[in-house]
Each structure stands twice: as structure tokens, then as C-alpha cells.
């Protein structure tokens, strides 16, 4: 109840719509609200706004503030520019009206005055709320239809910068950037060859190549996120799924599959990638089975050591020079390579393919076909609509099945003898990261027995086949 002789207090709520056609400035809304309050003798005690926020959600700080003002008794009435400013959600609107009424307050509109104390007035307000909800849903449907059409045409949902590409606003298409496009494709190939995200970032920063947003600083996390996206292979993202895109890919499907396999393989030991020690993550203690770590003394002597010896005391010679272990590994590679018929090694190597992803794609297409068939059977869609939609899905399904069938005959990692021969031939010129990647394919384990004069045992993967 309002105290006798006291003017009713009003809180103005302003919201600038995200829908361009209804985007009325906050200044105009506030002016209309103050004029309305003056005509009715209200005292404006608070002004809250939510600029650029959608009316579909009620989780807005401005709304929360004016509702708190009414419920706490700091305000008697909330003044809106239009009924739709408070919310375009039916349930949220009616809950807000009920909260205001329970607190002894009310909600009024400056430009759509309705006497809500009468049944006719409440009916009119309900109709206005329904219209606001309808307009919101219609705009949402139009947006979804626009996005679906863009996806069908192979276009991304926006023109935000993407590394390796330039955007043509007239054609609304992305095209390979003649400068950064080859750089981006090269990053994939270098990672597949064994370089790490860290070393690639160091190179990018040294070359002064900016990111898509113009930053001059590359980080491993940022680069990994960009490369994990499938845009470079010619796909666009929509509602959690990657779809075929209309833009020109920078890399092939096989290269992207090889990249994903390399990411998966290295994900188990990400710290090992940036290590300066060749056998980091591969060499272990033959006594306790713990991984040996690389260390140096005065920057001149380098060795692998077992930290467990500090606590168990069961080791003698708990460290070994790196050259001793690495020379033993190299000797084992030379011995293995001598037993390989190098002339029988094919010139081309099979490339990794993510068969699990192909299987998921096949299942998605089968589900889509089944859903279409069900809608046809229940007369939800016409036979013409089914005939228009099903061929495209069937074509994608056939393509995915062909890709899976071709992938089953290939291996994700080059054969062991390829890695052995490459290591022996280029041992002294390959970077550490490249040698480490090849060693992971060729060597099963390296163990140092500190209780047997630091004997080094090297176990190769499988048996080399000519």
C-alpha cells in the first residue's frame, strides 16, 4: 500500500532489442518512461537497462534489479517502454507479473497503456504478450531458416576472420589467403611430420605472422584449437556438426585424418613434445619401471636419471649419460635396418583415417533417412518432400561408406620399417621432435638396468617385414 500523501515511486526498465528492426535507443525509451511517470504523478527512483540483450531470457541484471526494487518495497511500479521490453517469453512474463502483484506492485507500459486492474485490461495485456512472443518466435524461425540455408549452401554462419582465409563480403564467401593459406596448410604437414605445437608457435611468432584476429602472439592452446577445427579441410560448423562447405579446402581429408591421429597419439604425453631430450617419455628404469627424466649439469653434461632412487635406495648409478642410451638406440636401429629389404618399401605410405568419425557419420545419415521415412509414413511430409530430401542424404551416406571401406585397408601410422629406415638415414640431420615421432613408431621401449652396469635394452615394435 502507498502511504497517504506520498507519490508512487517508479523504476524504469529499458532494454535495447537485438532485433535490428526493433532496436529503439535507450535514451528514447527513458524519455518516454519519464514523460509517462510525470503524467501519472510517479516519482522516478531508479533506472535500469539491459542494452543489446535478448528478451528471450529472463536472466538479465536490469530485470533482476527492478523486480528486487518492487519486492523490497523500494518501488511501487515498473515502467516499460513496451510490454515486450520485459520479456518475450510467456512463462517469464506471467511469473514476473505475479511476483509484482504479490509484492503489492505492478508493471505498466509507457506507450501501450492498459488498465490491468480490469479483466478486459488483463486480456489485452495477455494478447500483447502473446504478440511479443509470436514476433520473437517468428524472428527465431527466420534466423534458423537462414542458417539452415547457409549450411545447405556450404557457407559458415558468419564472416568472422579465419586464419588461412580472406572473406569476400560481396560474395559472402571465404577464399584461401595467398599468404597465410600455404602457411596454415604447412602447419598441418609439419605437425604430422613430428613437430610440436610449441615449436610451431615459436616459428610463427619469430616470423611475425599474426593470428586471424590480428594478435602477434601465438600460444600452443590457441593454435591447437584453430587446427582442430575442420574449416581448413572444407567444412562448416552448425549445431554441433561439421558439414561440407563451399569454400576451397587448404588440406586434404587424408592430411586432416593424419593430423587427428597424431594429436590423439601425442595427447597421452603432451609434456614430452616440448622436451629437449630425445628419449623423453620412452626410456624407463629397468629396476623400478619408472620413466627416466632428462637433466643437465652446468649446461655441459646431459643425462637421464631415475628419481625413484632417491627414495628407495635400490639403485646403483641412478643416472646415465644421454649419449650412452641414445647411441644404444641408434645401434639397435642400424642392426634392425640391416634386416630390412629397403627396396620392398612402397614409396607411398598409408595415411591415418578416423574410422570412428566415419562410422558416426554413417549412423547420422542412416538416422536421418529413418526419420524421413517415419515422417512420410505418418503423413508429416509429402512424398514430393521425401523425394526431394532423401537423395542428398543417400549420396552422403554412400560417400561415407566408401570412405570407411577405403580406410579399413590403410593404417594410421606408417609401417615400422619406414620409421627405422628414415631414422638410420637421417639420424644426424633430423630435429629432435622428428626423431622422437619416428622412434615412437619404431621402438616399443628403452630400459636402463642400473643394477647391471647400466645396461640398455631396446625393444623394437613388432617384427620388421620386407
CA–chain centroid gap for 171, Å, is 26
Residue that terminates a domain, selected from 271, 299, 331: 271
Answer whether residue 265 is part of any domain. Answer: yes
Predicted TM-score (pTM) of the model is 0.43
> Do the domain assignments include residue 207?
yes
Q: Mapping DSSP to helix (H, G, I), strand (E, B) and coil, where does residue 255 land?
A: helix
Nearest alpha carbon to residue 101 among 120, 122, 128, 80 = 122
> H helices within 169-252, ranges in order?
180-193, 197-207, 220-228
Same domain, yes or no: 308 and 183: no
Can you give the pLDDT at residue 307?
Answer: 74
Residue 150 placed within a domain: no
| pLDDT score of 354 | 66
Q: Helices 61-72 and 90-102, interaxial angle, to 10°?
A: 20
Yes or no: say if 184 and 232 are a contact pair by the CB < 8 Å rule: yes
CATH code at position 66: 3.40.50.1390
Whether residue 295 sits in one domain with residue 362: no
Q: Is 215 helix (H, G, I), strand (E, B) or coil?
A: coil
Whether residues 107 and 245 share a domain: the answer is no
Inside any domain, residue 276 = no
Range of the domain at 386: 355-407
d(CA 56, CA 51): 14
Residues 438 and 292 both lie in one domain: yes
> Which pLDDT score is estimated for 308?
66
Q: Is residue 41, in this structure, part of any structural domain at all? A: yes
Whether 260 and 326 share a structural domain: no
Q: Are residues 300 and 448 in the same domain?
A: yes
Which cell is 194 given? 613430428
Total structural domains in the chain? 4
Residue 124's H or E segment, with its range, is: helix 119-152
Of the residues 384, 407, 430, the one at which a domain ends:
407
Per-residue pLDDT of the chain (466 residues; tens, 9 = 90+): 556 667 889 999 988 765 554 557 888 889 998 999 999 999 999 999 888 666 566 678 888 898 899 889 899 999 988 877 777 666 677 777 778 888 888 888 888 887 777 778 777 777 777 776 677 667 666 666 766 676 666 677 666 888 999 988 887 788 999 999 999 999 999 998 888 888 888 889 888 899 988 888 888 888 999 999 888 998 888 777 888 888 889 999 999 999 998 888 776 555 555 677 888 888 888 878 888 888 888 777 888 988 766 655 556 557 889 999 999 999 999 988 888 754 344 444 444 556 777 777 777 777 777 776 776 777 767 777 777 777 888 888 788 777 777 665 444 444 567 778 888 888 888 888 778 878 888 888 899 888 778 889 998 886 544 3
92 and 235 inside one domain: no
Pair 54, 18: CB distance under 8 Å: yes
Give the pLDDT of residue 315.
64
> Is 158 among the domain residues?
no
Alpha carbons 210 and 386: distance in angstroms, whole number: 48
The answer to whether position 319 is within a domain reads yes
The answer to whether position 184 is within a domain reads: yes
* Together in a domain, 56 and 120: yes
Together in a domain, 14 and 109:
yes
Same domain, 225 and 308: no
Residues 93 and 183 in one domain: no
Q: Which one of 105, 139, 173 terminates a domain?
A: 139
**Residues 391, 425: one domain?**
no
Strand partners, 285: 448
Amino acid at each position: 500500500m502507498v502511504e497517504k500523501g506520498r507519490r508512487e515511486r517508479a523504476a524504469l526498465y529499458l532494454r535495447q532489442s537485438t532485433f535490428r528492426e526493433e532496436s529503439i535507443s535507450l535514451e528514447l525509451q527513458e524519455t518516454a518512461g519519464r514523460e509517462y511517470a510525470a503524467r501519472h504523478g510517479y516519482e522516478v527512483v531508479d533506472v535500469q537497462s539491459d542494452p543489446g540483450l535478448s528478451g528471450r531470457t529472463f536472466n538479465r541484471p536490469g530485470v533482476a534489479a527492478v523486480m528486487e526494487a518492487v519486492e523490497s518495497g523500494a518501488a511501487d511500479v515498473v515502467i516499460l517502454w513496451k510490454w515486450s521490453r520485459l520479456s518475450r517469453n510467456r512463462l517469464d512474463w506471467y511469473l514476473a507479473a505475479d511476483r509484482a502483484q504479490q509484492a503489492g506492485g505492478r508493471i505498466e507500459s509507457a506507450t501501450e497503456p492498459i488498465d490491468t486492474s480490469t479483466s478486459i485490461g488483463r486480456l489485452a495485456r495477455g494478447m500483447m504478450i502473446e504478440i511479443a512472443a509470436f514476433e520473437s518466435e517468428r524472428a527465431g524461425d527466420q534466423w534458423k531458416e537462414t542458417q539452415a540455408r547457409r549450411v545447405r549452401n556450404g557457407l559458415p554462419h558468419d564472416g568472422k576472420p579465419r586464419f588461412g582465409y580472406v572473406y569476400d563480403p560481396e560474395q559472402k564467401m571465404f577464399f584461401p589467403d595467398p599468404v597465410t593459406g600455404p602457411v596454415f596448410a604447412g602447419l598441418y604437414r609439419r605437425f604430422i611430420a613430428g613437430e610440436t605445437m610449441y615449436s610451431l608457435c615459436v616459428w610463427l611468432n619469430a616470423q611475425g605472422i599474426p593470428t586471424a584476429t590480428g594478435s602477434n602472439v601465438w600460444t600452443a592452446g590457441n593454435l591447437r584449437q584453430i587446427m582442430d577445427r575442420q574449416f581448413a579441410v572444407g567444412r562448416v560448423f552448425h549445431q554441433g556438426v561439421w558439414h561440407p562447405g563451399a569454400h576451397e579446402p587448404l588440406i586434404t581429408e587424408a592430411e586432416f585424418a593424419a593430423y587427428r591421429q597424431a594429436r590423439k597419439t601425442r595427447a597421452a604425453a603432451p609434456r614430452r613434445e616440448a622436451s629437449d631430450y630425445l628419449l623423453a617419455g620412452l626410456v624407463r628404469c629397468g629396476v623400478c619401471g619408472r620413466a627416466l627424466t632428462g637433466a643437465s649439469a652446468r649446461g655441459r653434461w646431459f643425462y637421464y636419471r631415475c628419481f625413484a632412487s632417491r627414495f628407495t635406495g635400490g639403485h646403483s648409478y641412478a643416472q646415465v649419460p644421454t649419449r650412452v642410451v641414445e647411441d644404444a638406440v641408434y645401434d639397435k636401429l642400424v642392426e634392425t635396418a640391416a634386416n630390412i629389404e629397403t627396396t620392398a618399401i612402397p614409396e607411398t605410405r598409408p595415411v591415418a583415417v578416423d574410422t570412428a568419425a566415419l562410422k558416426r557419420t554413417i549412423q547420422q545419415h542412416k538416422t536421418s533417412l529413418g526419420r524421413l521415412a517415419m515422417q512420410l509414413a505418418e503423413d508429416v511430409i509429402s512424398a514430393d518432400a521425401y523425394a526431394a530430401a532423401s537423395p542428398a542424404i543417400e549420396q552422403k551416406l554412400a560417400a561415407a561408406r566408401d570412405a570407411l571401406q577405403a580406410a579399413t585397408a590403410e593404417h594410421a601410422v606408417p609401417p615400422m620399417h619406414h620409421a627405422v629406415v628414415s631414422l638410420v638415414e637421417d639420424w644426424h640431420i633430423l630435429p629432435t621432435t622428428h626423431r622422437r615421432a619416428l622412434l615412437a613408431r619404431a621402438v616399443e621401449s628403452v630400459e636402463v638396468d642400473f643394477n647391471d652396469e647400466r645396461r640398455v635394452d631396446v625393444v623394437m615394435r613388432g617384427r620388421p617385414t620386407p
